[in-house]
């Protein structure tokens, strides 16, 4: 198995993040630094990250209803809590994608690097739905602009699904994962986000999971997620 895929399979990080670890010289094989992510390895190869041996572990995937001011990182050296602090598991879990500290709602955590890679890679276009409370209501022309895609500083967005819930509330579904994308899209059509909550990721609904609580996904939910990820 290729080194980057092996690290992801072992729950160290996603495949892309594993490639960055390798490029930074933090990965050794049999005591020697390896910077080639395509290096073939197996459990007996003596793979280590920052001096700690890496071996495969059973996969776990959780969904969390993220509160405000909690960061989407595996660890948080500052004053704020990280999403991993809210889950009781002995596995090396890390978040699938990001959800801003000032946003709430559904975020996935896993030690299955292949699943994380597929769920976040633009190629697979896994949909993510958000409920947004706006500082200023928008009309049908602005919703149509969102549906057609808007021009951002880093290029045009793909078309989004957008519908009104109430005067100042909308739902928007995107299939990309750019930094603060929903907020920037709404600013581009003349409004501003007052509150943003992710309520769906692929086939998973947030449902009635309480804020700050997490649960492990069932086998049937995982099967649907893999289907979402192609």
Residue whose tokens read 């071996």: 55
For residue 142, the number of C-alpha atoms closer than 13 Å in the C-beta half-sphere is 17
Nearest to 72 by CA among 81, 63, 61, 62: 81
Report DSSP state, residue 86: G
Nearest to 128 by CA among 173, 69, 171: 173
Say yes or no to pLDDT of 209 above 90. yes
Same domain, 112 and 223: yes
pLDDT band, very low/low/confident/very high, at 77 (cuts 50, 70, 90): low
pLDDT tens across 43-65, in order? 999 999 999 999 988 899 999 99
Same domain, 45 and 71: no
Residues belonging to the active site = 100
Count of structural domains, the chain:
3
- The parent domain of residue 37 ranges over 3-53
Report the distance separating Cα 151 and Cα 196, nearest Å. Answer: 21
Same domain, 209 and 182: no
Same domain, 93 and 184: no
pLDDT on residue 15: 82
Length of the chain (residues): 230
pLDDT tens across 113-171, in order? 889 889 998 889 999 999 999 999 999 999 999 999 999 999 999 999 999 999 899 99
């Amino acid at each position: 198995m290729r080194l980057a895929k092996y690290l992801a399979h072992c729950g160290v990080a996603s495949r892309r993040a594993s490639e960055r670890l390798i490029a930074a010289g933090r990965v050794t094989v049999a005591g020697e630094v390896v910077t080639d992510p395509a290096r073939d390895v197996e459990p007996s190869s003596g793979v280590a990250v920052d001096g700690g041996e890496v071996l495969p572990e059973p996969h776990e995937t959780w969904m969390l209803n993220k509160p405000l001011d909690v960061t989407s990182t595996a660890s948080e050296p500052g004053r704020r809590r990280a999403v991993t602090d809210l889950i009781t598991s002995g596995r090396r879990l890390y978040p699938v994608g990001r959800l801003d500290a000032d946003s709430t709602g559904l975020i996935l955590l896993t030690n299955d690097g292949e699943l994380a890679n597929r769920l976040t890679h633009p190629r697979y276009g896994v949909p993510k739905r958000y409920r947004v409370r706006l500082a200023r209501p928008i009309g049908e022309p602005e919703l149509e602009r969102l549906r057609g895609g808007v021009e951002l500083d880093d290029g045009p967005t793909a078309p989004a699904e957008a519908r009104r819930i109430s005067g100042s509330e909308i739902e928007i579904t995107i299939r990309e994962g750019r930094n603060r994308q929903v907020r920037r899209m709404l600013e581009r059509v003349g409004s501003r986000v007052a509150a943003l909550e992710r309520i769906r990721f692929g086939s998973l609904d947030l449902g009635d999971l309480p804020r700050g609580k997490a649960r492990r996904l069932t086998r049937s939910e995982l099967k649907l997620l893999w289907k979402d990820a192609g």
